Structure 1
Amino acid sequence: MSSAYAAGEIPEACVGCSMEDAKATANRMLQKALPVSVWTDKADYGHNDMIKVTGQVANVASGYPVTVTVVSPLNSIVTIDQVSVTQDGTFETTLNTAGAMWKYDGTYTIKVNYGSTEKSNSAKVELTGGEAYSPNYNTPTKTKQCGGNEFSANGQCIPFTISGGMVTGASLNTNDNSIVIMINAKNDGTLTVTPTKTTIDGIFMVLVDGQEWDDVEIVANKVTVKFLAGAEKIEIIGTHVIPEFGTIAAMILAVAIISIIAVSAKSRLSIVPRY
Structure 2
Amino acid sequence: MRSYLVVAGLMLLVVTIPAYAQSQTVTVTVNQQSFAQGESIVVSGTVSAALIEHPIILQVFSANDNWLDAGQSTVAQDGTFAYIFNTGGDRWSTPGRYSVVAHYSDSTAEVEFSITEARLPTNGGDPIRADCTQTVDGGALGEVEVRCSISGGTVNSMRMAVEDLSIVLRISSETDGNISLNLPVALIDAKDMNGSNENFIVRIDDVQVPHEETGTSTISRTVDFDFIRGETIIEIIGTRAVPEFGTVALIVFALGFAAVAAMKRPGLFGTSGFR
TM normalised by structure 1 equals 0.42
Higher strand share: 2
TM-score by length of 2: 0.42
